[in-house]
């Protein structure tokens, strides 16, 4: 099954930043990225050398980002730190969205005032992906323990026209096995469905427990995508501008000589 159109979902970060999240975009022409305090994702309009050079100007040595690897040309000025195979999953319109049996829980909205505790909780599950301003990407909801501690959460990350991505789904290790994540997913999915939206998500292909949970709710795998973690090599940006200017001068000189 694939209800996630390839024209958009093979490059979802690009279409999110060129669409509903344009107000968050740091624009570099054929490259763009989210601010570092929002999420570590960047994108290219196409996997070309020119787009990679434009992306280079948006990066810093100590600020790695993730891009979808679609045969992107490699350049020595970028450090390639690793890859992550992910599944894109879409919620079937046939999914019944039943919450698990048992006592109900109170699901509360989360926002700017809760940013620090949201980062602390998600760092237990997937360090570095959820940042201090990730809450700006969409709606987030959580569950608190009796003492007020945030113990589970889920929300929205990338936003495509008609397709909000679920993300930040996690439960504190001491409270797993209670169905909290499932109830949060069902809550968010019901909100999406009531608005005529289609829920989707991305998950590491090796995260068997999460994939089983999502299948149980009614998500179906649409495709796999490879993410690449990259950063700028550790030298100042002006060196690249000088290098490129020098290349251009030499090329112009060669052209005139010819």
Q: Tell whether the model's pLDDT for residue 129 goes beyond 70.
A: yes
DSSP 60: B
Per-residue confidence (pLDDT) for residue 101, from 0 to 100: 55
User: pLDDT for 67-119, tens place per residue?
Assistant: 998 888 999 999 999 999 999 999 998 899 876 655 678 999 999 999 999 99
C-alpha span between 95 and 114 (Å, rounded): 31
Which two three-digit tokens encode residue 23?
């107000």
Distance of CA 113 to the CA centre of its chain: 22
Per-residue confidence (pLDDT) for residue 132, from 0 to 100: 97
Q: Tell whether the model's pLDDT for residue 256 goes beyond 50.
A: no
Per-residue confidence (pLDDT) for residue 253, from 0 to 100: 39
Q: Tell whether the model's pLDDT for residue 255 goes beyond 90.
A: no
Domain ranges of the chain: 6-86+227-257, 88-223
Per-residue confidence (pLDDT) for residue 89, from 0 to 100: 97
Exposure b/e, 59-95, CB count within 10 A at least 16 = b: beeeebbbbbbeebeeeebbeeeeeeebbbbbbbeeb
Helices H, strands E: what count in the chain?
Answer: 7, 11
Per-residue confidence (pLDDT) for residue 248, from 0 to 100: 35
Q: Tell whether the model's pLDDT for residue 254 goes beyond 90.
A: no
Q: Phi and psi for 238 in degrees, rounded to 5?
A: -65, -25
Residue partners of 27: CB distance under 8 A and separation at least 6: none
Which two three-digit tokens encode residue 50?
């020119």
Which two three-digit tokens encode residue 106?
């109170």
Is residue 220 helix, strand or coil? strand
- Class for the domain spanning 88-223: alpha beta
Per-residue confidence (pLDDT) for residue 3, from 0 to 100: 75
- Please report, in angstroms and rounded to a whole number, the separation of the first and last CA atoms in the chain: 56
User: pLDDT for 139-179, tens place per residue?
Assistant: 999 999 999 999 999 999 999 999 999 999 999 999 999 99
Per-residue confidence (pLDDT) for residue 98, from 0 to 100: 79
């Amino acid at each position: 099954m694939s209800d996630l159109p390839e024209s958009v979902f093979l490059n979802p970060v690009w279409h999110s930043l060129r669409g509903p999240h344009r107000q968050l975009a740091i624009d570099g022409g054929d490259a763009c990225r989210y601010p570092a305090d929002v999420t570590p994702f960047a994108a290219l309009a196409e996997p070309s050398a020119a787009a990679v050079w434009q992306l280079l100007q948006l990066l810093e040595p100590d600020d790695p980002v993730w891009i979808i690897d679609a045969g992107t040309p490699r350049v020595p000025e970028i450090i390639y730190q690793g890859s992550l195979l992910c599944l894109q999953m879409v919620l079937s319109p046939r999914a019944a969205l039943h919450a698990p049996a048992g006592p109900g829980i109170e699901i509360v909205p989360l926002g700017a005032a809760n940013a620090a505790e949201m980062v602390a909780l998600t760092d237990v599950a997937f360090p570095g992906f959820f940042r201090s301003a990730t809450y700006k990407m969409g709606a987030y909801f959580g569950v608190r323990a009796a003492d007020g501690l945030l113990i589970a959460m889920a929300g929205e990350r990338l936003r495509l026209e008609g397709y909000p991505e679920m993300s930040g789904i996690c439960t504190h290790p001491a409270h797993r096995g209670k169905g909290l994540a499932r109830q949060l997913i069902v809550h968010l999915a019901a909100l999406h469905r009531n608005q005529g939206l289609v829920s989707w998500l991305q998950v590491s292909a090796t995260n068997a427990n999460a994939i089983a949970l999502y299948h149980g709710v009614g998500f179906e795998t649409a495709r796999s995508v490879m993410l690449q973690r990259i950063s700028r090599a550790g030298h100042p940006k002006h060196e690249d501008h000088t290098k490129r200017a020098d290349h251009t001068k030499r090329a112009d000189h060669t052209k005139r000589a010819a």
